[in-house]
Amino acid sequence: MSKQTLERILQSQGWGTRRYCRELVEDGEVSIAGETVSDCALKIETDNLEYTLFGETWLFREHVYIALNKPPGYECSRKPSHHPGVLSLLPEQFTLRDVQSVGRLDHDTTGLLLMSDDGTFIHTQSSPKHHVPKLYVASTHDPVTPELVTHLLRGVKLHDEPKPLAAVSCRMIDPYQIEIVLEQGKYHQVKRMLAAAGNHCTELCRTQIGKLTLDQLQLADGEWCYLDAAQLSLLSA
């Protein structure tokens, strides 16, 4: 059980500075259980707290765990340089509460992207030491051959990598498409591995992390959702 002042609760949820959150309360913008709350110093139990702000109801979340179906043309950066950032696809308060992408997908790569403000979660999901498998579907410029699949499974040598990197699994889906599972998450890894194996990646989509799939989430391009406890448990499976 945890109690916090209302102004601190609003600040922790990304609604702005303490001063701005205090003004929101004093201006009558916040209500709980249908009652307007005007005392910003009032201490409120945060467990299962629902509050209404600007006419919309929100659930207090100590941390947020988000899945986004990333469309092409967005950068996984808080300070994008050439394309819009993925944070622009989320409500503005997530930027203020320091939500970050878990790892990165290239601007032209699509699919399942995790986002959170929980540093421990981000590290666990990003670190190759935790062996979280990630499944990608890659379209290729040249036809997929059995030799290409074998090469990716045995491992390919990439520039600046001390030893060859191998796919956990790999199979041909159709003559110009493969499904490949990796654990390392190196920079441009799928594209570089395909190039090192003698082919070229023309499109790339991440469809699964751990045992959590895009199909389970049923998100259209650019849509996002909170992850519940059951869905989070699939990420470490």
**Residues classed as catalytic:** 106
Distances (CA, A) of 165 to 124, 126, 127, 135, 197: 21, 17, 16, 15, 11
Q: Are 214 and 190 in contact (CB under 8 A)?
A: no
Amino acid at residue number 19: R
Phi, psi of 212 (to 5 degrees): -95, 125
Pairing mode, strands 110-116 and 201-209: parallel
Half-sphere CA count of 22, side-chain side, radius 13 A: 4
Query: CA-CA distance, 113 to 219, in Å (whole number)?
Result: 11
Amino acid at residue number 143: P
Query: CA-CA distance, 33 to 76, in Å (whole number)?
Result: 37
Closest CA to 226 of 44, 67, 27: 67
Query: CA-CA distance, 237 to 235, in Å (whole number)?
Result: 6
| Helix (H), strand (E) at residue 172 | strand 169-174
DSSP state string for 42-75: -EEE-TT-EEEETTEEEE--SS-EEEEEEPTT-B
